[in-house]
Structure 1
């Protein structure tokens, strides 16, 4: 008996109240059936009357006729009405409290096969918008320590407030059952500090979930190898990417807004690799650039057998088998 009482008091308040309401209605249903078996032929009829009366609905389909039955009804209204009202108020308050805790990033994520985004910035905001516009939407968990509350328009994103290098935060994000993680650089920190923070987060995620596929953003070249050693499956150097974009805009004849162009192309998913034309083999990159710009193709990188680079020197000579990475439609 004592163990049952302990279990009862360890339950959440709204569950305890619900249990108390149920027991009270069953008790009064049994009492009214005992007092007036003709008016309440079954115990269930008595329980039905108790719920209707205790909630102050009062359908009138069952009515006590004796003095004892009426006194029982009065006691039920005084006890049950207040208890049911208190239960509903507690349930409403609990729902509001849970919603507030969810928006503040204090509720653990229970889903699986989700995508974890680390860091709230313009890049993750745009990435979330693009993911949510897909036909088959991903389950997204955002980890960030700077945001105080999740925006209402991103209600489909589960927010976890905290540092991704902390085990407790990764537990709340259910990182052990995640499919993929994207770690972005913190624009508010210096480049070296930002890269070190990203590497710490890679190590923490890999330690928590060794098979997790991680995409990491690094700002400096010298930290790229450290990010790979830490366990990043894909390392993106955003500074190289933006430098390449500025370089191409510098040599365009028609003025264009580079950031808007980049965003439009990414949203439309015009991201391709293409083997260079045979006629361009052995020619300097500046010549290849001019040839592709005629078709409106924006070259951002070069892939060869050894590596992928976004540092494109105008005097680089292209070799057979090199592949150009660019943002545009494929050439016909």
Structure 2
């Protein structure tokens, strides 16, 4: 009921904003006034029959089931027809204008959104399209909206559940993106700038996000590992250094041939097995890591490779066999699909 009342308030505010309320009031006056006059002049008509006739006449449907027989009734009918065509034409044109205006505002990134539990991408580069594709493949994010805040004239990527907000990452754009209700934010580097300037801009965007929305989980893309400390000071939750990651993979490829194919499979949602994070199921609490690993593989065909504590600050890859799992621990697993274990 509350949602209905809020929707009606928003609807009436929209009507007043576009001065549609006046046209609708005139339409209502014509319908009620024409029905009352027709009912008075045509003695064989009830008021509700006359109102039905007025609505049918104004909308130019004209069923012909009711028609005035007296001269006065026909004069009233003429007034209703002429005024109805003009007023309804005005209302229809205004509604069409509102729809077109909203579409243009959305395309230009000027429209505010009120969605919740969504993801925000701050900035845009050639990796943005791949990021969106990867997120949409995962069932967890397939129908979740993604809001892109970028200082471009038009977003190169188009698709369902994709919303564009034009501008820099500041308070205004974050409010338009409804950042306080978002699940996470990804900060991309600006490829149009030099390496140091890219990282500086990404760190500044992170500081802006954390200043206005300190609880929003923020993942930041950096180019230079020497800037990681500054990004941590900006309170980034996770930092991905693009150059360092690529370098490490190249080294591993040289030392252990073919291992990068496994890494590529695990970090891509589009094919093969993937890495997932899940809350420790109650029936595994208090068991050793070795027993948990064997149990998950035997019952669910899942490989557990690490454990994260409840605070999210300590991640242990391949813990000792006798490591005991706690109630609020998270498991890092390899699985074909996102596991749902209760």
TM score, norm. by length of structure 1: 0.72
Q: Deviations over 1:41-95 (max 9, x none)?
A: 12x3222211111121101122111100101111111111122122212212221
Counterpart check, 1:156 vs 2:161:
yes
- Out of 31, 35, 40, which is 2:41 matched to? 35
Mapped partners of 2:241, 2:138: distance in 1:
26
Unaligned runs of 5+ in 1: 1-6, 274-305, 309-318, 322-327
Cα separation, partners in 2 of 1:187 and 1:209, compared to 1, 3 Å: same
Indicate if the aligned counterparts of 1:220 and 1:237 stay in contact, CA closer than 8 A: yes
Counterpart check, 1:12 vs 2:18:
yes
- Out of 97, 102, 119, which is 2:123 matched to? 119
Deviation (angstroms), 1:31:
2.1
Cα separation, partners in 2 of 1:63 and 1:129, compared to 1, 3 Å: same
TM score, norm. by length of structure 2: 0.70
Comparing 133-142 with 102-111, which one deviates more in the overlay?
133-142
Mapped partners of 1:19, 1:32: distance in 2:
20
Indicate if the aligned counterparts of 1:104 and 1:150 stay in contact, CA closer than 8 A: no
Q: Deviations over 1:116-168 (max 9, x none)?
A: 1112223221121122223342221111112424644x13211111111x211
Mapped partners of 2:193, 2:262: distance in 1:
25
Mapped partners of 1:17, 1:259: distance in 2:
65
Cα separation, partners in 2 of 1:249 and 1:169, compared to 1, 3 Å: same
Mapped partners of 2:250, 2:15: distance in 1:
65
Aligned runs of 1:233-312 on 2, under 5 Å? 233-250=237-254, 262=264, 266-267=268-269, 268=271, 269-271=273-275
Query: 1:276: which partner in 2?
Result: none
Asked which structure has the greater CA Rg, the reply is 1
Indicate if the aligned counterparts of 1:103 and 1:150 stay in contact, CA closer than 8 A: no
Secondary structure of the 2:100 match is: helix
Query: 1:22: which partner in 2?
Result: 28
Secondary structure of the 2:268 match is: helix
Mapped partners of 2:206, 2:19: distance in 1:
40
Indicate if the aligned counterparts of 2:117 and 2:181 stay in contact, CA closer than 8 A: yes
| RMSD (Å) for aligned C-alpha atoms | 3.4
Mapped partners of 2:263, 2:235: distance in 1:
33
Mapped partners of 2:29, 2:319: distance in 1:
82
Query: 2:69: which partner in 1?
Result: 65
Indicate if the aligned counterparts of 2:146 and 2:163 stay in contact, CA closer than 8 A: yes
Comparing 114-123 with 142-151, which one deviates more in the overlay?
142-151
Mapped partners of 1:59, 1:9: distance in 2:
30
Query: 1:168: which partner in 2?
Result: 172
| Number of positions where the alignment pairs a residue of Structure 1 with one of Structure 2 | 273
Secondary structure of the 1:75 match is: helix
Mapped partners of 2:103, 2:197: distance in 1:
35
